[in-house]
Chains A and B, each alone.
Chain A
Amino acid sequence: MIWFQLQSLMGSYPLALRGLGMTIALSGISLVLGTILGFALGVLRTSGSRLLDSIIGLWVDLIRGTPFLVQIFLIFFILPELGVELDAFTAGIIALTNLAACFICEIVAAGIRSVPTGQVEAALASGLSQWQRMRQVVLPQAMRVSLPPLVGQYVLLIKDSSVVSAIGLTDLTRVGWLVVQRVPNGLLVFAIVGIGYFVVCYPLILLARRLERRMSAAHGEVQL
């Protein structure tokens, strides 16, 4: 019986690979976009404009305070009502990028706030422009604080990407649902799905741990 099921599963491996590819593509693109956007938001949030800070803060709280599934449904089902047609992949990318940006914004802003004011004053006193102060003095030191939780956040976001299967994207989780209809052994199928996620996430978990250890050795800056 189990032998038959395994054989049947073997037949599903192209589908599984497609699902894994979809999960990687979706998370990869969203993490890159979300990181860029999250950094920009984090820098803006600490730029000293109270208005920008509270607008970004409100948005971040809104996104962090609502289930990701609900956000995806809003983007995929509600936006078309307003005349914005999106395919499932684009909707998934938008939702996941937005979620990533919000979490990363908070991590980056916390890192920037952890840099002592004396550092900014020294940079200011030597005539560095706002961008140069950020780029040369503040961000390298903020990254020391931010990098380990940032990588940890990537792991959470990759796992959160499984929620997009709800709008019909054939990612790793959805492949699990499809296969289990043919091979009625949920434990086996979803164990394999779980292993798929773990294979992607584990290197990142190791990286985060390594970065955390390196923090104490580095001179205020994490060297990869």
Chain B
Amino acid sequence: MIEFRGVNKWFGALHVLKDITLSVEPREVVVVCGPSGSGKSTLIRCINGLETIKDGDLVVDGQRLGDRATNMTELRTEIGFVFQAFNLYPHKTALENVTLAPIHVRKIARGEAEASGREMLAKVGLGDKFNAYPSELSGGQQQRVAIARCLCMRPKIMLFDEPTSALDPEMISEVLDVMVGVAEEGMTMMVVTHEMGFARKVAQRVVFMDAGAVVETGTPEEFFSDPKTDRSRAFLSKILRH
């Protein structure tokens, strides 16, 4: 579904992605972790073209990014992206947020889009917040609207860029619960997160990145109980200490 082959990227002189080779199968849930600045966000932002790669191949849903034949706007409709800072449209209600792209991009009739939008908001536990503006919602609620906004497009892939990092601790679990639900329905997911509980519960694989390179990959059990490299051991001891 997603395949990186020898991908490199630089920000000026900074080598942010170093020779990444990695593939994600359909219905697979992959958690990406690593210290800050290790390139994990950049990695998943490349998949929907928010960042461009310098060399190597990146094939998403059978289409090679950067090819003339690849219509990036069309491909993006198949990829949901959840941001750390939610990025809901502040001038639109929850329901308007989730129906904007279905109506304007998928060309679904408004009534139909609103019906499935309500259904989706109810599914993430916001059945009573259809007409609330983002400023009237808590962080956890906003992030759940953001997830519903992606799901309303019926994407093939969902990408999560540190979806709980901007949340107060008591709101993290309500967002993770929704993500677990999405994973259990068989969505192909790539999740940048340090929530190791989530990784243990639903991930088939954990990818550990450091300094722009993939250092280690393995199942959650392997990775957490028996990290293979010094760098992953050091990282785990820091995040699991508390």
Q: Which of A's residues lie within 8 Å of B, judged by CB?
A: 116, 118-119, 121-129, 132, 136-137, 140-141, 144, 218-221
Within 8 Å CB of B81, what residues of A?
121-122, 125-126
Interface-lining segment among B8-16, B84-92, B213-221, B227-235:
B84-92
Contact of A132 among B79, B105, B150 (CB under 8 A): B105
The reply to whether B87 and A124 contact each other, CB–CB distance below 8 Å, is: no
B109 contacts chain A at the CB level, 8 A cutoff: no
The reply to whether A118 and B153 contact each other, CB–CB distance below 8 Å, is: no
Q: Which of B's residues lie within 8 Å of A, judged by CB?
A: 48-50, 73-74, 76-77, 79-81, 83, 85, 87-91, 100-101, 104-105, 133-135, 149-150, 153
Contact of A219 among B90, B100, B101 (CB under 8 A): B90
Provide a sorted-by-A list of 7 A–B residue pairs whose CB atoms are within 8 angstroms.
A116-B87, A118-B85, A122-B89, A128-B104, A140-B91, A219-B133, A220-B89
Contact of B50 among A125, A136, A219 (CB under 8 A): A125
- A127 and B89 contact, Cβ closer than 8 Å, known pairs A118-B83, A136-B104: no
**Minimum CB distance partner of B81 in chain A:** A125
Q: A218–B135 Cα gap in the complex (Å)?
A: 10
Within 8 Å CB of A144, what residues of B?
91
The reply to whether B50 and A122 contact each other, CB–CB distance below 8 Å, is: no
Q: A136–B91 Cα gap in the complex (Å)?
A: 10
What are the 9 closest A-B residue pairs judged by CB atoms, nearest first? A220-B90, A221-B91, A127-B77, A122-B87, A125-B81, A126-B101, A220-B91, A219-B133, A118-B87
**Minimum CB distance partner of B89 in chain A:** A137
Q: A219–B76 Cα gap in the complex (Å)?
A: 28
Within 8 Å CB of A137, what residues of B?
89, 100
Q: How far is the CB of A101 from chain B (nearest CB, A)?
A: 26
The reply to whether A126 and B90 contact each other, CB–CB distance below 8 Å, is: no
Q: How far is the CB of B203 from chain A (nearest CB, A)?
A: 22
